[in-house]
Chains A and B, each alone.
Chain A
Amino acid sequence: MKELEREILIIGAGPAGISAAIEAAKAGAKVTVADEHDTIGGQLYKQIHKFFGAADNHAGMRGFEIARKLEQEAKELGVEFWLNTVAYGIFKEGVGIVRDGDNFIVKAKKVIVAAGGIENTTAFPGSTLPGVMLAGAAQTMTNIHRVLPGKRMVVVGSGNVGLIVAYQMLQAGAEVLAVVERDDHIGGYGVHAEKIRTAGVPILTDTIIKCASGKTSVEGVTTVKLGADGAEIAGSEQEFNADTVIMAVGMAPLTELLWNIGCRFEFIGELGGYVPVHNEFMQTSVDGIYAAGDITGVEEASVAMEEGCIAGIAAASACGHISAEECSARCASHIDALAVLESGEYDGERSAARAKKLELYKASEK
């Protein structure tokens, strides 16, 4: 098999991966970023709303604008991008990638895995019909390719992604008939819920999709209310003349590459499932393998960027470009920023989750 040598290889060109690339390059490292898509920016690329988060992390800018800004900065620093390039495994010999249909082993001194997350799915009768799709697909269709997935939609899930996607469908000219939520309260931020409520979209809590019907694609959706015991309430069914169902039922870290090389994991529900344990410099339990962004727990772009910066600085330092002291000094502001980002009203759980990962990393060192 063909072999390639690189100093730092970053897998994933989302906000975490590009931030890592920028900081590592600033510290003097030679950096390559591989992404399976043909665009740079990961999740940001399909986001057209203004981001929440800290001003230092470009909050207030629209997602795709942040992506463009990061891309430009990385390119000015000489970061090499390999697009349409899938990393399929991390082995002792190196990272296996497929690029332009060709198979390579990349021998890198340090590897940063910033593969992001993968959307969860939910099943109901009719959920495999054409016209039922994940939020990411609906966003890619409308915001990138400018083709509406349908005309009348029902959105499943009232977390931020569900609320934002519902609003984006309205902006694109579709009708959103309802957002259904199985919990007894709306999952996402009030500001996002308010926007779609103002537009007249009902958010139905304690409600699930009973079925989607149609011969070759969605032609109707039936919802049903759940009682306090979680059982369907007979007679509470509601029919919607929908042609599309958009699922936005959470995300989980996309961790296969890290399992495959033997990283230690811990199940932390608030972070989306099994997450790799890591130290404060984002190194996993496997020497030389770093992780950053949604792969370490599904959070937000600001967190992904801060983690990316830390991983990039630490990997460059481990390659000998900057001293351990300089590494600590450069990481300090990012570590502080993470503490602030995770200290909000809803975020106590996240700072506890981070502390748990750090503690387990320490325990695994012994």
Chain B
Amino acid sequence: MSQSMRITDHPILGADEPKKKVTIYYEGTPIEANEGEPIAIALANAGIRTLYVTEKMNKPRGIFCGQGRCGSCRMIVDGVPDVKTCSTPVKDGMRVQVQHGLA
């Protein structure tokens, strides 16, 4: 899933209004994001699904509940671990890293 996953046109919601863009860095790679959208959404749009890796078994985890309850989207954001990226908005220049275990 490399091309954008954005829904540009929608039968009920209409055409997507252009949003202000910001840049975040995923493991150092620049990713374009819409201002104010959650980190995990910007990554999903770029085709990135693995946000967290379990400590013992090294199993990947991604967005699961999408509302800040399950913790499967925890990442290291600007050096801070355990940030729930499904409900934390992007900021220009933000650095996000996959979190391994309890970090």
Q: A: which residues have CB within 8 A of B?
A: 36-37, 48, 62, 118-119, 128-134, 136-138, 140-143, 145-151, 171-173, 216-217, 243
Q: Looking at the complex, which one of B12, B41, B64, B86 makes contact with A171 (CB distance below 8 Å)?
A: B12
A152 to B15, CA, bound (A): 22
Enumerate chain A residues within 8 angstroms of B60, measured Cβ to Cβ.
Answer: 129-130, 216-217
Enumerate chain A residues within 8 angstroms of B64, measured Cβ to Cβ.
Answer: 132-134, 137
Q: Looking at the complex, which one of A37, A138, A148 makes contact with B7 (CB distance below 8 Å)?
A: A148
Task: Tell me the B48-103 residues at the A interface (CB within 8 Å).
Answer: 49-51, 59-69, 72, 86-87
A37 to B65, CA, bound (A): 14
Q: Which residue of A lies closest to B34 (CB)?
A: A145
* Interface SS, A side: loop
Q: Looking at the complex, which one of B6, B11, B16, B65 makes contact with A136 (CB distance below 8 Å)?
A: B65
Interface size on B, residues (CB 8 A): 31
* Min CB–CB distance B52 → chain A (angstroms): 9
The answer on a CB contact under 8 Å between A171 and B69 is no
A10 to B101, CA, bound (A): 36
Q: Looking at the complex, which one of B7, B59, B66, B69 makes contact with A146 (CB distance below 8 Å)?
A: B7
A182 to B16, CA, bound (A): 37
15 further contact pairs, Cβ within 8 A, besides A133-B66, A146-B7: A48-B13, A119-B65, A128-B61, A130-B51, A131-B62, A134-B66, A136-B66, A137-B63, A137-B86, A145-B37, A146-B6, A216-B49, A216-B50, A217-B60, A217-B62
Q: Is B10 an interface residue (CB 8 A)?
A: yes
Q: B: which residues have CB within 8 A of A?
A: 1, 5-7, 10-13, 16, 37-38, 41, 44-45, 49-51, 59-69, 72, 86-87
The answer on a CB contact under 8 Å between A142 and B7 is yes
Q: Which residue of A lies closest to B43 (CB)?
A: A147
A171 to B10, CA, bound (A): 7
* Min CB–CB distance B73 → chain A (angstroms): 9
* Min CB–CB distance A182 → chain B (angstroms): 21
Enumerate chain B residues within 8 angstroms of A36, measured Cβ to Cβ.
Answer: 68
Enumerate chain B residues within 8 angstroms of A128, measured Cβ to Cβ.
Answer: 59, 61, 72
* Min CB–CB distance A170 → chain B (angstroms): 10
* Min CB–CB distance A200 → chain B (angstroms): 17
